Amino acid sequence: MIRDAPAFLGQFARHPLSTGAVLPSGSTLARDITAAVPRAGEPLVVELGPGTGAFTRAIQQRLAGRGHHLAVELNPAFAVTLARRHPAVEVVRADAAALGALLAERRLGPADVVVSGLPWAAFAAARQRAILHAVVGALGSGGTFTTFAYRHALPARPARRFHRLLRELFDEVTVGRTVWRNLPPALVYHCRRPLGPPTTG
C-alpha cells in the first residue's frame, strides 16, 4: 500500500470522482472482500476498479492459477501498472457499466464472483444503478458480489442510496466487520443470489 500511495494521490488529484480514494486498500480489507472467491474449481472472477491491485493480489492468491480473472479498469495509468504486475490477469481498460458486453465479446460468463473497488459514494444515482445492473446481469444465479464502503461515508446520501440498491438487487446482503486498520476504516458488503436483470432503469 505504501509503495502505491504516490500513484494513488496523483490519480486522485487528476480524477477525484473516478479514483475516489487517496490511498490503496490494505491487506486486511483485501482479504475480507475476496473471501467469496472459491478455492476450488475453475471460477470466473471479475474485478471492477482494481486500481493498482490491492484486491488483485488477494484474488490471484486464492485462485492459485485456476479459473479466469478479468479486471476492468477505466484509468489508463492504473490499467498499465496492473497488467505489468499481474500478467496472469486479463486487464481491460473499459467502463464497468459495459461489463455485459465485455463478457459477451470474450464468450465468458456468467461470473461466479464480482469484486468491486469502485468509489460508489462518489457516483450519481444513475451511475450507481447502471453499474449495478451490469453486475447483476453478469452474475450467475448463485453468484456473489462483494464491494466495500468507507465507514465515515455511510451516513452520506449516496452511500445510503447505494445500500438500498443492493437490497433491491440481491436476495441477501450482509455487512462485514469494520476494518479499523484500513485507511480510512472500511467494511465489506457481501451480496448473494442476484434477483435477475432489472426490467426498469
CATH, range 5-34+41-194: 3.40.50.150
Rounded to the nearest 10°, the torsion over CA 103, 106, 109, 113 is -70
Q: Each residue of 136-175: pLDDT tens digit? A: 999 999 999 999 999 999 999 999 999 999 999 999 999 9
Q: Which residue has the cell 502505491?
A: 4
Q: How far apart are CA 124 and CA 120, in angstroms?
A: 8
Q: What are phi and psi of 12, to 5 degrees?
A: -65, -40
Q: What are phi and psi of 68, to 5 degrees?
A: -135, 130
- pTM above threshold 0.75: yes
